[in-house]
Amino acid sequence: MVFSAGGFATLILTLTVLGCCLPSFAQIDSSKHFSKELGVFPKEKEPELYNFKVSGVYRFFSSFNVMSQPYMLNSAISDTAAKKSLFIGDDSQLPNLLLNFSGMPDKKTAWGFDLYVFQFLDGNIKQTYGTGQVANNKRGAVFSPRAGVRLGTNMGLLLGLNLYGSMETGFGTISVKTGGIHWTSISDLTLGAFTGYNRFVLFERNPWDPISGNVKKRYSQYYELGNINQDMRWGEKAFTGTILEANSLPGNLSMKILYGKTELNGGFLNIPNLSVGGQVKKQFSNGFVAINSFNNNTYTDSLTNKSIGFNMVTGQLKYAFVPGMEFKCEAGMGRYFSPNNKSGWGEAITAKLFLGPELVKMPTELHFFRVAPEVVNNNAIFWNVAVREYNNNIPAGSIGSNAVLLPFASAVTAVGQFTNNRQGVNLNTELKAGRLKLSFSNAISGEIDAVTSAISYTHPVNQFTRSRFWRWTFPTEVGPYSRYNKIYRDVYDRLKLSDTTAKRFNTLEFQAKYKCRLNNRDLYVFALGNYSSVQSKWSPITVFSEAAYLRHYSTQIETYYMIRPKIALAQYAGYERMICNYRTETDALTGRPRNQTGWGYALGADCELAKNTMFYLRHRWYGFNDRSFSQDRFQGREWLVELKLAF
């Protein structure tokens, strides 16, 4: 190393100054005195962010549909399904790219927000969603990119900016969540989402399904545990505003307070609307008791002269008598109010008694429920089929609309999913015989009051394919006979009856799961059956005769075969029958009631391309035919391609 004269003089001066400040280098304990606070060492600034990270998910999704014959989507505007249609993206308002930014200023405070990128490309230079595809001649120049139409108009905040904070005190832990969207719940009758008994088909993936560690994990977990990994939204409701929670309080108490909005009263209108609720819970060694409440008030106009909303208050109990015997109950009162409805309060109760394998060979749950017709809470797990809700004349699915996208008719539902104006009992049990695992349900329910002369039901075999017939919106009264209503990823059929007798419902539901080795490779077989009926009299099991207004049967079988450690072949087959009697609406030409048959067969493959990167391919052949209503029939093929990666 070479020093100049000036540099050497500077070094001598520095050492001299240090010599004046420090008595002797030999007398210094370096472990005590040579700290980063001394001037000769650069000082380290305290970290401003305890933690900062960016994660995300990219999902490419496309569908190609070919229909062998025309099918009327909307007779009012003479809209017929295209013979061939290629669609890139997902019209369910879920992003192609989702980025999550989060940070922690300290160990007790955190923030985060989600940024999404979503661009629809439907092949047309026109407005589709946002500004749609942008023509080349309208794009900004390189030297002036802001002069033209911006390409990022469909980029924005999906969930908003969330702030989380917690504080440990001498009497408990206080946490605050505010802003953005938080996924939370209180109880089944106040604020919560239906989860059911984990009986569903895995063949067509949901847009929110997380990526498993490998291809096999999704199916092995479903076989072994009876469920699959779900994201943070499973069983929760979206809530924006402020959530205050207090846990580990004296006396084993905890508390939750919510002040803000749900997805049913959100939006950008200036009309005041608000949801508020909360819970106070006391924990015991073998259970808990709680008081829950959730309420909404939305004004119909900016003058705040009239309002609509609901009130719900319940008490909740969970108690384990002995290992293997657990009792859960929630009961309370609720009401719905609007300018057109002042029916008052009604009762609601749901109670479950579970007997586990410690006591019985076949784990069994007995579930009783009753929800009065006056009780309306669309944020709970039960549907409203009894009260015609107030409509502010904004179309359903549009910002500011209070038209709920649920069928207003007495609905045929899955076991565990119930409605208001309904009471009944469900019996669930499970049995394991070697490699074969069986679960079985028998549901009996009936209307409390005869308030409607209609039934609504779905078509489970091709429900996702059907929902893709109608893009972008959630129309009602569409199809060849104007009786289909589209909701999110499903379509409901509405059936009119000739009388208004209180209806009774029965459902037999079963699922079989089997695993074996074929050619030294894992094979998973899942079967799901649902056999329901609607009639005027009580019955201990599903009615299979003409006495039923509607007989609703479906059987679905799927298999997954691991041909390679990173490749699984998938197969699906489904068949459904919906048969009505002559006390339901008949066709003007044939004079016969509905007699519907639907079928679907599909092949596919799952492939692990790299770590956290999966490729999914599905090819479905499908068909539907109503022998009495000649226009309600279709047949076709559909390809689905999905590429998903997480980082």
Query: 454-458 and 410-411: which strand pairing?
Result: parallel
What is the rounded CA–CA span in Å between residue 431 and residue 512?
Answer: 10
Residue type at 378?
Answer: N
- State the pLDDT at residue 268: 55
What is the rounded CA–CA span in Å between residue 164 and residue 103?
Answer: 10
| Residue pair 450/502 in contact by the 8 Å Cβ criterion | yes
- State the pLDDT at residue 473: 76
Question: Could you tell me which residue, 264 or 44, shows the higher pLDDT?
Answer: 264
Distances (CA, A) of 493 to 128, 278, 417, 629: 28, 36, 18, 13
What is the rounded CA–CA span in Å between residue 228 and residue 239?
Answer: 24
Q: Other CB atoms closer than 10 Å to residue 480's CB: what's the count? A: 19
- State the pLDDT at residue 35: 41
Residue type at 17?
Answer: V
Angle, CA of 24, 28 and 33, to the nearest 5°: 125
Q: Which residues of 512-549 are buried (b: 16+ CB within 10 A; e: fewer)?
A: ebbbeeeeeebbbbbbbbbbbbbbbeebeebbeeeebb
Among 323, 258, 331, smallest CA distance to 290 is for 331
Among 474, 493, 481, 337, smallest CA distance to 403 is for 474
What is the rounded CA–CA span in Å between residue 455 and residue 502?
Answer: 11
User: Which of 141-145, 409-413, 571-575, 633-637 is least confident?
Assistant: 141-145
User: Which of 305-314, 362-371, 435-444 is least confident?
Assistant: 305-314
Question: Could you tell me which residue, 183 or 600, shows the higher pLDDT?
Answer: 600
Q: Other CB atoms closer than 10 Å to residue 283's CB: what's the count? A: 17
Could you tell me if residue 307 is left (phi over 0), alpha (psi between -120 and 50 degrees) or otherwise beta? beta
Q: Label residue 9 by pLDDT band (50, 70, 90).
A: very low
> Is the model's pLDDT at 266 over the cut of 70?
no
Question: Could you tell me which residue, 141 or 626, shows the higher pLDDT?
Answer: 626
300 φ/ψ angles, rounded to the nearest 5 degrees:
-80, -20
- State the pLDDT at residue 575: 98
> Is the model's pLDDT at 107 over the cut of 90?
no
- State the pLDDT at residue 539: 97
Q: Label residue 92 by pLDDT band (50, 70, 90).
A: low
User: Which of 24-33, 70-79, 264-273, 510-519 is least confident?
Assistant: 24-33
Place of tokens 């026109």: 126
What is the rounded CA–CA span in Å between residue 280 and residue 80?
Answer: 54
- State the pLDDT at residue 37: 43
> Is the model's pLDDT at 607 over the cut of 80?
yes
Residue type at 592?
Answer: R
User: Which of 33-47, 306-320, 613-627 is least confident?
Assistant: 33-47
What does the pLDDT average to over 600-621?
96
| Residue pair 417/437 in contact by the 8 Å Cβ criterion | no
| Each residue's pLDDT tens digit, 448-493 | 999 889 999 999 999 999 999 988 778 888 999 999 998 888 899 9
- State the pLDDT at residue 112: 78
> Is the model's pLDDT at 52 over the cut of 80?
yes
Q: Other CB atoms closer than 10 Å to residue 231's CB: what's the count? A: 12
What is the rounded CA–CA span in Å between residue 622 and residue 638?
Answer: 8
Q: Label residue 47 by pLDDT band (50, 70, 90).
A: low
Place of tokens 């580990």: 248
> What is the Cα 368 distance to its own chain's centre?
25
> Is the model's pLDDT at 628 over the cut of 60?
yes
Distances (CA, A) of 279 to 177, 194, 236, 322: 16, 19, 15, 27
Angle, CA of 486, 580 and 70, to the nearest 5°: 45
Tell me what the pLDDT averaged over the chain comes to.
Answer: 83
Length of the chain: 647
3-state secondary structure 464-508: HHHHCCCCCCCCCCEECCCCEEEECCEEEEEEEECCCCCCEEEEE
Sign of CA dihedral 416, 419, 420, 424: negative
What is the rounded CA–CA span in Å between residue 216 and residue 640?
Answer: 20
| Each residue's pLDDT tens digit, 131-162 | 445 566 666 665 665 566 654 444 444 556 77
Question: Could you tell me which residue, 107 or 64, shows the higher pLDDT?
Answer: 64
Q: Label residue 48 by pLDDT band (50, 70, 90).
A: low
Q: Label residue 32 by pLDDT band (50, 70, 90).
A: very low
What does the pLDDT average to over 396-411?
57
What is the rounded CA–CA span in Å between residue 607 and residue 245?
Answer: 43
Among 337, 278, 345, 271, smallest CA distance to 308 is for 337
Cβ partners under 8 Å of residue 368, min gap 6:
349, 350, 351, 352, 424, 425
Question: Could you tell me which residue, 611 or 636, shows the higher pLDDT?
Answer: 636
What does the pLDDT average to over 272-277?
89
User: Which of 32-46, 53-67, 137-151, 422-436 is least confident?
Assistant: 32-46
Q: Label residue 36 by pLDDT band (50, 70, 90).
A: very low
Residue ranges of domains in the chain: 171-194+235-394
Retrieve residue 423's tokens: 């009471």
What does the pLDDT average to over 391-414?
61
Cβ partners under 8 Å of residue 309, min gap 6:
295, 296, 297, 298, 336, 337, 338
* Helix residue ranges, H only, 148-256: 215-225
Q: Other CB atoms closer than 10 Å to residue 268's CB: what's the count? A: 6
| Each residue's pLDDT tens digit, 253-262 | 999 999 998 8
- State the pLDDT at residue 111: 79
What is the rounded CA–CA span in Å between residue 625 and residue 257?
Answer: 51
| Each residue's pLDDT tens digit, 325-356 | 999 999 999 999 988 877 899 999 999 999 99
| Residue pair 635/68 in contact by the 8 Å Cβ criterion | yes
> Is the model's pLDDT at 196 over the cut of 50?
yes
Among 388, 518, 364, smallest CA distance to 439 is for 364
224 φ/ψ angles, rounded to the nearest 5 degrees:
-75, -45
- State the pLDDT at residue 533: 98
- State the pLDDT at residue 227: 75
- State the pLDDT at residue 290: 98
- State the pLDDT at residue 179: 80
What does the pLDDT average to over 637-647?
94
Q: Label residue 20 by pLDDT band (50, 70, 90).
A: very low
> Is the model's pLDDT at 40 over the cut of 70?
no
Highest average pLDDT, of 205-209, 393-397, 640-644, comes from: 640-644
> Is the model's pLDDT at 7 over the cut of 50?
no
What does the pLDDT average to over 185-194?
94
| Each residue's pLDDT tens digit, 546-566 | 999 999 999 999 999 999 999
What is the rounded CA–CA span in Å between residue 239 and residue 261?
Answer: 6
> Is the model's pLDDT at 30 over the cut of 60?
no
Q: Which residues of 294-329 are buried (b: 16+ CB within 10 A; e: fewer)?
A: bbbbbbbeeeeeebbbbbbbbebebebeeeeebebb
Question: Could you tell me which residue, 57 or 351, shows the higher pLDDT?
Answer: 351
> Is the model's pLDDT at 43 over the cut of 60?
no
User: Which of 128-137, 226-235, 402-411, 541-550 is least confident?
Assistant: 128-137
Helix H or strand E encompassing 346: strand 345-355
Cβ partners under 8 Å of residue 519, min gap 6:
none
> Is the model's pLDDT at 511 over the cut of 80?
yes
